């Protein structure tokens, strides 16, 4: 990423740059090498700009069983709380939720929880996020 991209983001007050999946995996592997049970039985809380696009959410959802997590909670900021404005598009996951409220999502943000095999495929992963 060039310096001009960073300068443009600074001017637009949009400085969110996503951590790459492989970088997260490398860092987490260092923790796991030190203590393979570091996440076992734990709840992981991830404050994200957008949980559905977050590579942290994707990593912990993909490794949920392997890490022995108890629960994954991934939250977002409310779009109307940001200094810059972006489209108010809602994801399919969000729209399909029985609790979905478009106005509340704009002002309060999103929260997704992963703690059980909702799809019944025998494993807990990103498809079970609700």
- Token pair recorded at residue 113: 């929880």
Q: Which residue has the higher pLDDT, 125 or 90?
A: 125
pTM: 0.70
pLDDT in tens, 19-66: 889 999 999 999 999 999 999 999 999 988 777 788 899 999 999 999
Domain spans, the chain: 42-130
Q: Go through the chain and tell me how many residues it has.
A: 130
* Residue 107, pLDDT score: 53
DSSP element (H, E) containing 33: helix 21-34
């Amino acid at each position: 990423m060039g310096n001009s991209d960073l300068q443009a983001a600074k001017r637009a007050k949009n400085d969110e740059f996503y951590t790459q999946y492989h970088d997260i995996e490398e860092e987490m592997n260092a923790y796991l090498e030190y203590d393979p049970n570091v996440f076992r039985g734990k709840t992981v809380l991830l404050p994200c700009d957008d949980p559905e696009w977050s590579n942290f959410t994707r990593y912990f959802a993909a490794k949920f069983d392997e890490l022995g997590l108890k629960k994954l909670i991934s939250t977002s900021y409310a779009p109307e709380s940001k200094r810059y404005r972006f489209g108010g598009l809602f994801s399919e996951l969000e729209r399909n939720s029985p609790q979905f409220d478009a106005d509340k999502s704009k002002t309060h943000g999103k929260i997704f929880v992963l703690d059980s095999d909702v799809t019944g495929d025998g494993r807990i992963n990103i498809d079970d996020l609700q």
